[in-house]
Structure 1
Amino acid sequence: MGLLEILSSLFGVGYFLAWSLSFYPQSIHNFKRKSTSGTTVDFPLINTLGFAAYFVYNAAFYYSPLIRAQYAARYKGLTPTVQFNDIAFAAHAFVLSAITTSQYLLPAAWGFAPSFGNKPSRFILGVFFGCVTGVAVVVFTVLASPDRDSTETVSSWVWLDALYALSYVKLIITLIKYTPQVIVNYRNRSTRGWSIWQILLDVLGGVLSLAQQSIDSYLQHDWSGITGNPVKFALGNVSMVYDSIFMVQHYVLYRDAGGTPRERDSLLAEDEERRIE
């Protein structure tokens, strides 16, 4: 095994650990405070769907001979760059996201005080059900295709395309999942309740993930290792853009800020306040 192969393995382990650990700080922070105030369920809820899709996507690429054969037919005989640590990461992330979501949807079970952020926003619910509907449409389209099980046809609808539909669900969710919390922090003029440690670990994981994928593609002498696996490439880049926004909010804009007199924990907070009043 050469130096680059060793580095790829080390980076894979490193990003797996960094990203996996990033799912603990917020749930632990909520548990210590016995509250989810200052944060919103939108992020962990949509994250749960995203990582469910990402797990199925990675597992199929890694274990399914049919999917691997269809990938090779479409990308000049190459094999997917998905590795076992991708599957382990996705499974772990799904479980931790579901646990964190339960702190918002089932606050009484955790002994938490009620919070406006426990109710998902219409925006996130729309994205959630829109993604599920989109994948269902693609699956039915593949089922209707006579070439769905082909390992030679690359232009017709095949099961590989259904897997890509799942990958784009993860892409869409990655693009929007942080937005509600960014808005909540802006409205509150504070990052109180939002754990910065999850962001710092996410940045580290993103850098290591992109480094590993670049090395793997270089070793294959073909950058379709990235273009053929767009979800992993975008996962590292887009997340780091949002991470930068959170770090600016936490360390620059709202440093030492105690928050507004009335914390708003979700995009629906104002509507909820009117109902209560």
Structure 2
Amino acid sequence: MDLFLSIVLNFQRKSVIGLNFDFLLLNVIGFCCYTVYNVMLYFDQHVQQLYIERHGQRSLIPVLINDVVFATHALLACIITGLQCFVYERGTQRISYIGRSWASFLLCFSFVSLALALFHVLNWLDFINYLSYTKLAVTLSKYLPQAILNFKRKSTVCNMLFDILFITQHYVLYRAKSGRDGRERSNSPDPSGAVNRCPARMDPRKGEFPGQKVFVDELNQIRLVNPALIDSVAKLAAEGKEFIGQFEHFLGSVSDVREAMETIGRITDRERLKLLSLQNRQENQREEAEEMQQLKALVSERQKELERLNVELACLRAVEAQQNEYLTICKKIELRRL
């Protein structure tokens, strides 16, 4: 819901000033990975079979249709917000070099995982698990650029406040100094005229905040006043510890991918050497064939020359026989004269 409210707010303001583009880029990458994860695990029977084989026959597929709908609508909302950045006023805001580098690393990691899955180095379940690690890394890092921008601007305008970090900035750090609802003021007036930064005190007899509800202020931003916030923070801390464990597993998976890439590199080098050896062998065979043809041509020439010499020898023998016969006749003639 906060994504579409942000779209409406941008449309009303005709401006995206205050929306950090690093936050938006990481959001698009994260929800793209999350959408692929949910869609494949919900619709692809091969991936489901891999999941059941890995986790046991009694395990259930952890993705429901509402997960698929949420991921796809969140990705669509992020894309629409990105298109608004090209249409509405954005001032001097740009994607930072750090944001580009981090986004490039996440995209490279995702595409390398896809390539490994296409070449059957990884199965598709491992591929979507790596996409989930990418989403976790995005979730860990995407709020920091927006928080820094809010700190520099001392304002949370253009942020729909459903995230605890931005709620803290809006209601504790950068509250506007104009008039507020009486529920936000302390019991004793501040001589400086500034609004008290502490929420209304909790009634210990009722265990609730006075006037507890959800309402919209003059900036069209939603405030959440709820005593269960402490429990939410504790739950968030537990989820943070779980995320740290998953992130450590992600780092181990990255190490496995690096080892797999090194193995692929070694196999590629061996195949390249084999190919070079085969090419050298073929070249040698071709040279030997050429030499054999040259030798055959030389033998053929020698045979022709030998035949010519045999013919000349026969002619010489015939001439010699004629000369011998002539000498014999000459001798007979001389004997008759004597």
TM tier, shorter chain? 0.5 to 0.7
In the other structure, the counterpart of 2:75 is 94
- Of 158, 172, 175, the match for 1:255: 175
Equivalent position SS for 1:24: helix
Displacement of 1:158 in angstroms is 1.6
Check whether the contact 2:3–2:160 (CA below 8 A) recurs between aligned residues.
Answer: no
What is the root-mean-square deviation of aligned Cα atoms in Å? Answer: 1.8
- Of 86, 99, 104, the match for 1:129: 104
Q: How is 1:100-249 mapped onto 2 (pairs within 5 angstroms)?
A: 100-104=81-85, 106-107=86-87, 112-117=88-93, 119-145=94-120, 157-196=122-161, 199=162, 243-249=163-169
* Separation in structure 1 between the aligned mates of residue 19 and residue 111 of structure 2, nearest angstrom: 31
Equivalent position SS for 1:79: coil
Displacement of 1:188 in angstroms is 1.6
* Separation in structure 2 between the aligned mates of residue 173 and residue 53 of structure 1, nearest angstrom: 10
* Separation in structure 2 between the aligned mates of residue 39 and residue 139 of structure 1, nearest angstrom: 31
**1:60 maps onto 2:40 in alignment:** yes
Query: What amino acid maps onto 2:139 in structure 1?
Result: T
Displacement of 1:251 in angstroms is 0.7
Where do 4+ consecutive residues of structure 1 move more than 3 Å? 142-145
Check whether the contact 2:22–2:99 (CA below 8 A) recurs between aligned residues.
Answer: yes
Check whether the contact 1:23–1:93 (CA below 8 A) recurs between aligned residues.
Answer: yes
* Separation in structure 2 between the aligned mates of residue 65 and residue 192 of structure 1, nearest angstrom: 45
In the other structure, the counterpart of 1:27 is 7
Equivalent position SS for 1:94: helix
Check whether the contact 1:70–1:160 (CA below 8 A) recurs between aligned residues.
Answer: yes
Check whether the contact 1:189–1:257 (CA below 8 A) recurs between aligned residues.
Answer: no
Q: In 2 relative to 1, CA 257–97 (structure 1 residues): closer, same or farther, beyond 3 Å? A: farther
In the other structure, the counterpart of 2:62 is 81
**Count of aligned pairs:** 177
Q: In 2 relative to 1, CA 75–195 (structure 1 residues): closer, same or farther, beyond 3 Å? A: same
Deviations 1:116-156 (A, max 9, x none): 22x211222222221121122223333444xx6xxxxxxxx
Unaligned runs of 5+ in 2: 179-338
Unaligned runs of 5+ in 1: 1-20, 149-156, 200-242, 259-277
In the other structure, the counterpart of 2:311 is none
TM-score between the two structures when normalised by the length of structure 2: 0.49
Higher CA-based Rg: 2
TM-score between the two structures when normalised by the length of structure 1: 0.60
